[in-house]
Structure 1
Amino acid sequence: MPTVREIEQALFRLAPKEGAMDWDNVGQLLGDPDREVRQVLVALDITEAVADEAIAQGCQLIVSHHPVMNCKWLPVQSVRQDTPQGHLLLKILKNDLSAICMHTNLDVAPGGVNDALAAALGLEDPGPLEVTDGICRVGHLSSPMPFQAFAQHVCRCLRANGVRYAGAEGPVQKIAVGGGACADYADAAIAAGCDVFVTSDLSYHEFLDAEGKGIRLIDAGHFPTEDPVCAVLVEYLCGQFPGLDVSKSASHREVIQYYVEGE
């Protein structure tokens, strides 16, 4: 069976480390590189529930998209049992688990986060929205769709609990997508002549400004826009290491719920 190090090397062939942003932390972040791996759990995030699931299944490794530590929003300053982050890290280490995280390098990689999102929405001929960093994708629907119907399509395809959207009604066909927080690419979507930009974590002002710029926006949530890549990772690892038991987390799901007053 492969070691953690060998699995990390395989994942870097899918999403080279050089593609990661300079603030990011990717690769093996916890555990023994020489540990033999028989069972892997894949999840978008490494949460307490995911760690418990991996332990219960007898896994040796968790592979996630979001780094479990040392990234710009979750720097490790201490590892203490009485803090949420410390408690999680100690649980992983005490149970001899390893963690490999593929983040912004997986965002830009061909076949990674954004290609998985484009595929989930049924976009044809997706390509990079911007050549410079290659994070977002742009593609076409096979035939035009009313904007509100497309918003419903996005919600259903991504199994989101709800989506936020804004923009004028009318047919849409050319679509830009950015998994996770990609609001900074709205102007690029406009410049490319897109009818809609699907991303997440949009602010009130970003919705407001887009109306004047002539772009329709759909915020489908951070988890729903990135979770499709987990199935890609499962399939990839199974192909690279026949006989390795790889599964997607059943416990990790969208944390944000919506209450909508009856229409």
Structure 2
Amino acid sequence: MTVQEITTVLEELAPLSHAEDFDNVGLLVGNPNQKVQGVLVTLDTLETVVDEAIAKNCNLIVSFHPIIFKGLKKITGSTYVERVVLKAITNNIAIYSMHTALDNSKMGVNAKICEVLGIQSPKILIPKQGTIKKLTTYAPLEAVDTLKSALFEAGAGEIGNYSDCSFSAAGVGSFKPGEGTNPTLGKTGKVHFEKEEQIHMIFSFEKERHILKTLFDSHPYEEVAYEITTLQNVNQDIGMGMVGVLENEMEEADFLMSVKKKMYASVVRHSELLGNKVKKVAVLGGSGAFAIGAAKRAGADVFITSDIKYHEFYQAEKQLVIADIGHFETEQFTKDLLVDYLIKKIPNFAISLSESNTNPIKYL
């Protein structure tokens, strides 16, 4: 398989269009057409990871964090970023990063945290705005079923766990083919009236190009009338963080000790314990202070994240317990998630889990 073929599989899990605007995701180093001998999955791409890839004969590194985040004006090996890029290029190793594309996936980073902690029925904590669109088009009656089937196949009409969703309204369309046209119905120069159906379907924004191509390829008219609008509906499938429930409620201190053990955290920094039972839990891997308000609105008893600053702990305001278990600790199982996914999708292919500990923070 080529680099492109493998990254296409990864983008089924986490489309790059789902990444945040500030991020740098996708193929950062390498040729997309290069044949892949083996894949090494890591949280961070450091020199030790590139060395590990060389030792394991892996020429594609799939990394959660992007090694190149800001633009590089030179590559001389004077920084750890430059040294990684140089070594990867020298050894023909491609580097692909997923980062916030995987953060925003309903089967990504936060789903894995929920799995490890036994949090059930998880839902997106902060749905990504402007990601649901609606297609409106018009078709003659005899073409409606064929057109709708093609659009459903292209991914239109999916709402949560429902598929093939649409709304139709009957009406009469009119048009007058002008000079140089080749109308499917009607005659050039004469106004034509046709019984049509107005068809509405929603779709996820990353599918727009494919859905429009399908519309144009499947519609019988020479000129296709259509509209695309962006909706404010809550997206159940794309967004940051997750919130769910424990099978059995726990005391706050007992729950935090359980989190510490299951997440291999050296320390748990937390806001004031409130003496409440813990039933609903919100999680957000990585730096999650921006989601404190969302966790409170969701009614979470505890919010697990990292990189909380001194004054941000005050935002708990006796409404929940904020627990900071460390940046690496919240994301460490991401590489296990990716290895399991790739092995399932590409069986009998060399997929390796990096053994390098890339956590830059040490504890006494």
TM-score bin (small chain): over 0.9
Which protein has the larger Cα radius of gyration, Structure 1 or Structure 2?
2
Q: Is the 8 A contact 1:181 1:202 kept in 2?
A: yes
CA contact (8 A) 1:43 1:252 kept: no
For 1:82, the aligned partner's letter is S
* CA apart distance, 1:84: 2.2
- Deviation, 1:76, is 2.0
Aligned partner letter, 2:242: R
**What is the Cα deviation at residue 247 of structure 1?**
1.5
Aligned 8 A contact 2:46 2:358 in 1: no
Separation in 2, partners of 1:95, 1:75: 22
Question: 2:244 matched to 1:139?
Answer: yes
Extract unaligned runs of 5+ from structure 1: none
Task: Answer yes or no: is the 8 Å Cα contact 1:5–1:34 preserved in 2.
Answer: yes
CA RMSD of aligned residues (A): 1.4
Aligned letter for 1:15?
Answer: A
Q: Secondary structure at the match of 2:286?
A: coil
1:229 to 334, 339, 352: 334
CA distance in 2, matches of 1:91, 1:49: 10
What's 1:183 paired with? Answer: 289
Equivalent residues of 2:44, 2:358 under 8 A apart: no
Give how far 1:213 is off: 4.5
SS in 2 for 1:36: coil
Match of 2:308 among 184, 190, 202: 202
Using the alignment, how far apart are the partners of 1:22 and 1:136 within structure 2?
A: 17
- The answer to which of 127-136 and 139-148 deviates more is 127-136
Q: Deviations over 1:25-53 (max 9, x none)?
A: 11111012111112111011101111111
Q: Would you say how many aligned residue pairs link Structure 1 and Structure 2?
A: 254
- For structure 2, the 5+ residue unaligned runs are 130-238
Matched AA of 2:261: R
After TM superposition, list the pairs within 5 Å mapping 1:149-164 onto structure 2: 149-164=254-269
Deviation at 1:58, TM superposition (A): 1.3
User: Partner residue of 2:324?
Assistant: 219
CA distance in 1, matches of 2:120, 2:81: 41
> Which of 73, 76, 79 is 2:75 aligned to?
79
What is the TM-score with the length of structure 2 in the denominator?
0.67
Report the alpha carbon displacement of residue 253 of structure 1 after superposing the two structures with TM.
4.3
Q: What pairs with 1:1-263 in structure 2 (closer than 5 Å)?
A: 2-69=1-68, 71=69, 74-132=70-128, 134-168=239-273, 169-210=275-316, 212-259=317-364
Give how far 1:209 is off: 3.1
Q: Residues of 2 paired with 1:84 and 1:142: CA distance?
A: 44
Q: Matched residues in 1 for 2:59 and 2:128: separation?
A: 37
Preserved contact between residue 272 and residue 318 of structure 2 (Cα < 8 Å): no
Separation in 1, partners of 2:334, 2:79:
30
Residues 82-116 of structure 1 deviation map (CA, whole Å, 9 limit, x = unaligned): 33221111011101100111011100112101111
Q: Are the equivalent residues in 1 in contact too, given 2:286–2:331 (CA < 8 A)?
A: yes
**Other structure's SS at 1:110 match:** coil
Q: Is the CA contact 1:198–1:220 (under 8 Å) kept in the aligned structure 2?
A: yes
Identity %: 40
Query: What amino acid does structure 2 have at the position aligned with 1:135?
Result: M
Could you tell me whether the CA contact under 8 Å between 2:65 and 2:97 is conserved in 1? yes
For the residues of structure 2 that align with 1:257 and 1:86, how far apart are their CA atoms? 24
> Which runs of structure 1 show a deviation greater than 6 angstroms over 4 or more consecutive aligned residues?
none
Question: How big is the shift at 1:68?
Answer: 1.2
The TM-score normalised by the length of structure 1 is: 0.92
Q: Is the 8 A contact 1:41 1:248 kept in 2?
A: yes
Deviation at 1:218, TM superposition (A): 0.7
* CA distance in structure 2 between the partners assigned to 1:172 and 1:97 by the alignment: 46
User: Conserved in 2, the CA contact under 8 Å of 1:160 and 1:254?
Assistant: no
Q: Is the 8 A contact 1:50 1:252 kept in 2?
A: no
Amino acid in structure 2 at the alignment position of 1:128: I
SS of the residue corresponding to residue 179 of structure 1 reads strand
Moved more, 42-51 or 236-245: 236-245
Q: Is the 8 A contact 1:49 1:252 kept in 2?
A: no
| CA distance in 1 between partners of 2:128 and 2:297 (Å) | 14
Is the 2:106–2:124 Cα contact (8 Å) retained in structure 1? no
Matched residue type, 2:314: L
What is the one-letter code of the residue matched to 2:288? C
| Partner Cα separation in structure 2 for residue 239 and residue 81 of structure 1 | 37
